[in-house]
Chain A
Amino acid sequence: MATNRFHRYAAMAALVLFAAIFIMPFVWMLSTSFKHETRIFPPPGEYPQWIPRIDATDAQGRPLVWHRGQSAVDLGADEKGMHRLLENGREISVAAADIARRERIRFYWENYTRAFQMMDFFQNLRNTLYICLMATLGTVLSSSLVAYGFARIPWRGRDALFVVVLASMMLPYQVTLIPLFAVYSKLGWVGSFKPLIVPYFFGVPFYIFLLRQFFKGIPEDLSAAARIDGCTEFGIYARIILPLSKPALATTVLFQFLFQWGDFLNPLIYLQDDRQYTLAIALQQFQSQHESAWGPLMAMSTVITLPVILLFFLAQRTFIQGITMSGLKG
């Protein structure tokens, strides 16, 4: 039907438009991150440049200009405002209105090196990776154990306690934030990585829920057969259930890692020395000290964002499945 095809094209056009709008900030970020500081703010009345450029110069560093379609070296202006040009080996004098700036494409990598130096980047990266890995490890180990206890062993009071797990997800973090800070400061943990890692070794309700759903879908016969063979409960968990649950475990690893990678509030509260900062905190600190250093700021934002985007492309299926799982069974 013709109208059907028309609707399809209209939908397609709308999608292309929206997609362009959604991707624009990323392109803008990348573009700015490669711009020389003199080019970040376009001159009044000019279009912003998407491809980074700088003023073109000759081998001796003298600025190049266009004069009547010809390239010429600008030797500077005299007191009357006339520009002396070196064109085809001849020196001529022309009015400023007759010449146009000549530019060339140049990706200004120095924003990245500057940002790295100003931020103690590699130290911050090490801190972030350490916290991410430890917290993720804790989350997966503890949440899968707890989920197994809720999914695969029948015991009295199990379902009532599971309701408590679900209810604890509803509690806003602000309620426990202050007492936890008080406890950690009494323990002397403030200013260390411990508050960012240790709690994750005690099961995270969201992943307990996610893994329990998955474990429940594994046929009971497998456990029964293993029990007859004399396998312990822990053996069933470690050797049968975990290997069969790779998709759900992958979702847990991925989501928890990403959460830690971008987490802001907890590092903000508990890390006090800039040698301990994670990348997210370091970027915020950097931003508050260099508010208009947009080149290095965009370079740093790109560096923090890029691993996330790479992870997405490597694990696209796990992402989409995980989001869907948490959405539809919630």
Chain B
Amino acid sequence: MTRLERRNLRNGLLFISPWIAGFLGFELYPLLMSVYYSFTEFNVIQPPVWSGLANYHELFFDDPVFWRALYNTLYFTAFSVPACLAASIGIAVLLNQKIPAMSVFRTIFFLPSIVPLVASSVLWLWVLNPDSGLINMALKQIFGIEGPGWLADANWAKPALVLMSVWGIGGAVVIFLAGLSDVPPALYEVAELDGAGPFRKFWNVTLPMLTPTILFNLVMGLINAFQYFTQVYVMTGGKGTPVDSTMFYALYLYRSSFFYLRMGYASAMAWLLFIVILAATVGVLVSSKRWVYYHGD
């Protein structure tokens, strides 16, 4: 190593030293401890007691709430992620039409996504109120329909949360708008010369050109949906009611650790969650080779 190389190495490590310390202390050590805790009985107050695979065994064979939580989370993910993707693509395409006052519209769609989650959850509790909420009142007065009990009804609680999640698509809309501005106008001109109408242009030009952006938003959406917590904590007082219909994975994990003080059990849950998220992400990335189109690369 030359003197310059040595100096660069020293300086480089010096500059990143906060991260190295943080990585060892706040990431790597907790990561390893988490593996260890998942094989123990641990309540933080007393030292952990080794219990082998007992936590995993209980999760798989003796805990219906765990399976319920997993089902609820998959249900929410399966409906919320595609609904949010479709809505954000639709709105971004509409916003991209060189429309007057575009920035006003963009602001309106973006704002809900930066509201603190606690505030938007409290607001939606009120919007979804079965008697006097905005939605049921509108259903009654515009369509004459008696609206469902939403969060008070075990069958409607999850759809209510899916509906609310669509309100928060602002970030994805902005990202799709940036993706749309990268589509070369020449492609549309060629499509028009071939006699393509707006729907054909959308289907055969816009959508394929957006696939890299869709991939990004899909992966982020999946990761966030699997960890869905704050909204459901606020809206059900941390209980996942009615009858466990909104007991989501992250909420059950929180309850196991900080309510029942079963830290070892919750650590096992955390690892299973990590595996589920990893599998879903890898699955999407592998499949993306077949449906993502990279223009010009």
A interface residues, Cβ below 8 angstroms from B = 7-8, 11-12, 14-15, 18-19, 22-26, 28-29, 32, 40-42, 47-48, 142, 145-146, 148-150, 153-156, 158, 161, 164-165, 168, 170-183, 185, 199, 201-203, 208, 233, 237, 258, 261-262, 264-265, 268-269, 279-281, 283-284, 287-288, 294, 297-298, 300-301, 304-305, 308-309, 312-313, 316, 319-320, 323-324, 327-328, 330
Task: Give which listed residue, B174, B257, B281, contacts A320 with CB less than 8 A.
Answer: B174
Tell me which residues from 118 to 140 in chain B have a Cβ below 8 Å from any Cβ of chain A: 118-120, 122-127, 131-132, 134, 137
Query: Would you call B61 an interface residue if the criterion is a C-beta within 8 Å of the partner chain's C-beta atoms?
Result: no
Shortest Cβ distance from A15 into B: residue: B94
- Cα–Cα distance between A25 and B99 once the two chains are bound (Å): 24
Task: Give which listed residue, A19, A176, A269, contacts B258 with CB less than 8 A.
Answer: A269
Question: A330–B18 contact, CB under 8 A?
Answer: no
Question: B126–A298 contact, CB under 8 A?
Answer: yes
Tell me which residues from 256 to 277 in chain B have a Cβ below 8 Å from any Cβ of chain A: 257-258, 263, 266-267, 269-271, 273-274, 277
10 A-B pairs, CB-CB below 8 angstroms?
A28-B126, A42-B137, A158-B12, A164-B23, A168-B23, A258-B114, A264-B116, A283-B118, A308-B115, A313-B107
A176 contacts across to B, CB distance below 8 A: 26-27, 30-31, 34
Query: Would you call B37 an interface residue if the criterion is a C-beta within 8 Å of the partner chain's C-beta atoms?
Result: yes
Question: A165–B19 contact, CB under 8 A?
Answer: yes
A233 contacts across to B, CB distance below 8 A: 11, 15
Task: Give which listed residue, B29, B118, B226, contacts A179 with CB less than 8 A.
Answer: B29
Question: B216–A327 contact, CB under 8 A?
Answer: yes
Interface size on B, residues (CB 8 A): 92
- Cα–Cα distance between A262 and B116 once the two chains are bound (Å): 4
- Cα–Cα distance between A265 and B97 once the two chains are bound (Å): 40
Query: Would you call B149 an interface residue if the criterion is a C-beta within 8 Å of the partner chain's C-beta atoms?
Result: no
B242 contacts across to A, CB distance below 8 A: none
Question: B119–A174 contact, CB under 8 A?
Answer: no
> Helix, strand, loop or mixed for chain A's interface?
helix
Question: A29–B123 contact, CB under 8 A?
Answer: yes
B interface residues, Cβ below 8 angstroms from A = 5, 8-9, 11-16, 18-19, 21-23, 25-27, 29-31, 33-34, 37, 42, 44, 91, 94-95, 97, 99, 103, 105-112, 114-120, 122-127, 131-132, 134, 137, 141, 167, 171, 174-175, 178-179, 198, 213, 216-217, 220, 223, 226-227, 229-230, 233-234, 237, 250, 253-254, 257-258, 263, 266-267, 269-271, 273-274, 277-278, 281
Excluding A22-B167, A42-B137, A175-B267, 7 further A-B contacts by CB distance (< 8 Å) are: A149-B16, A171-B274, A176-B27, A178-B263, A179-B34, A324-B174, A330-B216
**Contacts A164-B23, A324-B174 given: A178-B257 contact, CB under 8 Å?**
yes
Question: A146–B16 contact, CB under 8 A?
Answer: yes
Interchain nearest-CB distance for B220 vs A (Å): 8
